[in-house]
Structure 1
C-alpha cells in the first residue's frame, strides 16, 4: 500500500485508552510507516483526562518525547513534576514511571515520539552542533 506524504489534522484519529488512563484521541501519523524507528503520534486529551502512570522497561523499553502543542498539562516523570504549556517538552527515559494529565479547561494536544532508547549522530547538520553548544553555555 502506498501512502501519500500528507495527512490533514485529525484525518485518521481514533479513540484509544492507554495504560489504564482515560480515553484519548490518537493520530498515529502515517500509521508507523515513516521508515524511522519511532512512533509519531498526536494525542488529544479532554480536561481532567490522563495517560495513566506507567513505564517501559526490559524487552519493551521505550523512550518517550512529549511536546505540548495546545493546552495545559502536568507531567510526572520519576520524582519530578512539571507544569507544561504550548511549546514545552519532556523526555521520559525508559524504565522511569511517568504520567501526563490535562490540567486545563480545554483540550490538551500533545505531540509524542517514542521508540527504543539509543543514539543517532546527526552531527553533519549544523543545527545539532549549535544546540549542544547552547546547552553547554547554559550550564556555565
Structure 2
C-alpha cells in the first residue's frame, strides 16, 4: 500500500498511564525505516503521562511536532508551551510528559526509535539546515 488516508488505521490507546489518545501508526509493518511514524490526537485536557525511555528499558528518542492545537511539554526540569509548528526532542533517559492545554484536540506527528547516526550531509537540504542553524545561533541574543 502506498497511500494511507487519515483515520484509515487509527485506534484508541492509553500511553504511560495518561488519558486515551487516538493514534495512527503510519505504514506499520510496511516501511523499512528504523523509526515509528505516528500521528496522535490528544483531547482537550488530555495528557500522555510522565515517563522515560532509559538505557535499561528500551532506549528510545522521540520527536514531537505539533500539527494543530496548543499544549505544554515537560522534559526533565524544563517546561515548554507549544503550538502549531513547534517541535520538542525527548532524548533517551529524559523524563517527559505532554499535556493538551487548549480547548480542542492537540494533533501531533510523533517520530520515535532507537538512537543512531546517519550521514545526510551530501543532501542540499542538509546543507541549508546546517546554515540556518548557524545563522540562528549567531543572531541569538546572549
- TM normalised by structure 2 equals 0.93
- Once superposed, what is the RMSD of the aligned Cα atoms? 0.9
2-side partners of 1:56 and 1:68: how far apart? 21
Deviations 1:15-57 (A, max 9, x none): 0011010010000111143110000000000000000000001
Query: Aligned equivalents of 2:14 and 2:95: distance in 1?
Result: 18
Q: 1:74 corresponds to which residue?
A: 72
Q: Number of paired residues? A: 137
Distance in 2, matches of 1:32 and 1:39, equals 10
Which residue in the other structure is 2:2 paired with? 5
Question: What does residue range 83-98 of structure 1 map to in structure 2 within 5 Å?
Answer: 83-98=81-96
- Give the alignment's TM-score, normalised by structure 1: 0.94
How far apart are the structure 2 equivalents of 1:82 and 1:60? 25
Cα pair 1:32 1:39 within 8 Å, conserved: no
Whether 1:63 and 2:61 are equivalent positions in the alignment is yes
**Counterpart position of 1:41:** 38
**1:50 counterpart residue number:** 47
Distance 1:32 1:120 in 2: 22
Alignment of 1:130 with 2:98, yes or no, is no
Unaligned runs of 5+ in 2: none
Gaps of 5+ in 1: none
